[in-house]
Amino acid sequence: MARHFLATWLSTGLAISTALCLVVPSAVSAQNAEPILIGVSAAFTGGSAAMGLSARQGIEIAAKEINAKGGVLGRPLKLVERDDEGKNEVGVQVAQELIDKERVVATVGFVNTGVALAAQRFYEDARIPVMSCATTGTMVTRQFLPPDYEHNYVFRNGLYDSLQAGKMVEEAVERRKFTRLAILADSTNYGQLGRADLESALSAKGVVPVAVEKFNIKDIDMTAQLLRAKQAGAEAILTYGIGPELAQIANGMAKLGWKVPLIGSNPMGMTSFVEIAGPNAEGARMVQSFIPDASTPRRRAFLEAFRTDYNLERIGNPPSAAQCYDAFYLLAAALAQARSTDGGKIREALESLEQPVEGVIGTYRKPFTAGNHDAFDPSYALIGEVRGGVIVSAHESDRPR
């Protein structure tokens, strides 16, 4: 009885005191100027969360840096982060919430091509620029092209599929002279869009893949896929999937005692691939936009920020983080140049950036024009290789831009 008495009053006291705390407004050191709201829409949960979280971290670091220097137009930048869960329907809701409820001036993010395709139309209708920094679908920036639409509000600085596929095929067919290639792609629209781009890039070189196989997210055994590729006499495997399943492929190959080169798209650079595949990942090559090395002061600071802000020795997906970090800087530069938060003016500014913008991937000089909303060209695509458990540049010629 006494014990209950005590417990109850203790908890009552606790609740009342906490309730009081609420009434006292939480002291927030707000800058006087009204912040500029920037939306962040990416998958923080679900299958693409690893990339979405890296993207969010890149954006947060950039925002923090810019705000530390006084923001833009004398106003701080405030991020409104929303989890689109990698689900189209949630992405659509998030887009509308950011546009109509939060009234953001622009949105950065997007990991999943499907989500981007489903959600972007709302930004287009609202004339709010989107900096798509981790999507890969080639279509993403080409959904609202003139003359069907007056202006296209979707920009991207990221490695899109046709660019990645071209680079992978170049690596496999031109550099390494393979002619019998197998494609292993996951069954999501990421994998299948990439597979389509790979097939067309190969056919441009007159190569027909000897096997085209599919696997599911979270598949734990790749024996059937690998045996089919092996049976077909593949000399190398081109992959389009994300880190964990790619690691299962590398491990499966080791298990079958069948070792042919792996050449993959960007997610092969995910930490999870390198860690889970361990020694089996050695020698795997993949298209990357950013290889985390402290080769420039900017990069050093960037990597340091991950260490201090997130206690991360290794970034989950360095290209996503770097691309989104740079994207945020590009957006900030456009805001500064436009001297306005009007969507149309920001779009115009993005299409005609006067000052070069320095990011961690490189320095962007006039990255966008009215006709081209992809900042990246093939020169941004590097080939990375797993060596000694880290990703390094595979080719000397690919060294810092």
Residues 120-149 within binding reach of another protein (CB under 8 A): 121-122, 126
Nearer to another protein (CB atom), residue 18 or residue 308: 18
**Taking contact as CB under 8 A, which single stretch among the options 68-76, 266-274, 289-297, 334-342 is the one that binds another protein?**
266-274
- Please count the other Cβ atoms lying within 10 Å of the Cβ belonging to residue 218: 10
Number of residues that bind another protein (CB under 8 A): 81
Shortest CB 5 distance to another protein, Å: 5
Tokens 């060294």 belong to residue: 399
Interatomic CA distance for residues 135 and 161, integer angstroms: 9
Q: Please report, for residues 41, 159, 160, 168, 400, the alpha-carbon distance to residue 163 in angstroms, rounded to integers and kept in the order given.
A: 24, 6, 5, 9, 19
How far apart CA 99 and CA 342 sit, in angstroms, is: 13
The yes or no reply on residue 33 touching another protein (CB under 8 A) is no
232 lies in the site for another protein, by CB under 8 A: no
Residue 9 in contact with another protein, rule: CB under 8 A: yes
Q: Taking the alpha carbons of 272, 276, 279, 282 in that order, is the dihedral positive or negative?
A: negative
Q: Look up residue 17 and give its amino acid.
A: S
Interface stretch with another protein, choices 59-67, 157-165, 249-257, 320-328 (CB under 8 A): 249-257
Q: Which is nearer to another protein, 194 or 367 (CB)?
A: 194
Backbone φ and ψ of 166, nearest 5°: -60, -40
CB of 264 to another protein, least distance (A): 16
Among 42, 168, 234, 276, binds another protein (CB under 8 A): 276
CA distances from 174 to 72, 177, 303, 342 (A): 46, 5, 34, 47
Q: How far is the CB of 394 from another protein (least distance, A)?
A: 23
Distance CA 336, CA 220 (A): 49
Judged by CB under 8 A, the residue of 179, 223, 369, 379 near another protein is 223
By CB under 8 A, name the one of 35, 261, 278, 283 that touches another protein: 278
Q: Can you name the residues that pair with 262 across neighbouring β-strands?
A: 237
H helix runs in 220-296, sequence order: 223-231, 243-256, 271-277
Residues of this chain, 291-320, that bind another protein according to CB under 8 A: 316
CB nearer to another protein: give 88 or 296: 88
Q: What residues contact 116, with CB distance under 8 A and at least 6 apart?
A: 91, 110, 130, 132, 135, 137, 140, 154
Residue spans of beta strands (DSSP E) within 30-153: 36-42, 77-83, 106-109, 130-132
The token pair at 254 is 């080791």
For residues 162 and 178, what is the distance between their CA atoms, to the nearest angstrom? 20
- Report the DSSP beta bridge partners of residue 75: 72
The interface region with another protein, picked from 29-37, 157-165, 278-286, 345-353 by CB under 8 A, is: 278-286
Of residues 57-96, those binding another protein (CB under 8 A)? 81-83, 87-90, 92-93, 96
- Per rule CB under 8 A, is residue 200 in the interface with another protein? no
Stretch that binds another protein, among 153-161, 166-174, 218-226, 360-368 (CB under 8 A): 218-226
Residue 118 engages another protein in binding (rule: CB under 8 A): yes
State in angstroms the smallest separation of the CB of 190 from another protein. Answer: 8
280 touches another protein by CB under 8 A: yes
Nearer to another protein, 92 or 207 (CB): 92
Contact pick of 62, 193, 238, 268 for another protein (by CB under 8 A): 193
Q: Which of 36, 53, 108, 333 binds another protein (CB under 8 A)?
A: 53
Interface with another protein (CB under 8 A), residue from 70, 233, 279, 356 = 279
Q: How far is the CB of 146 from another protein (least distance, A)?
A: 18
Amino acid residing at 390: V
Instruction: Give 270 or 287: the residue with its C-beta nearer to another protein.
Output: 270
Residue 188 touching another protein (CB under 8 A): yes
CA atoms within a 13 Å half-sphere pointing along the CA-CB vector of 218: 3
- With binding defined as CB under 8 A, does residue 5 bind another protein? yes
- 45 binding another protein? (CB under 8 A): yes
Of 272, 260, 262, nearest to 315 by C-alpha is 272
Residue 180 beta carbon to another protein: minimum distance, rounded to whole angstroms: 18
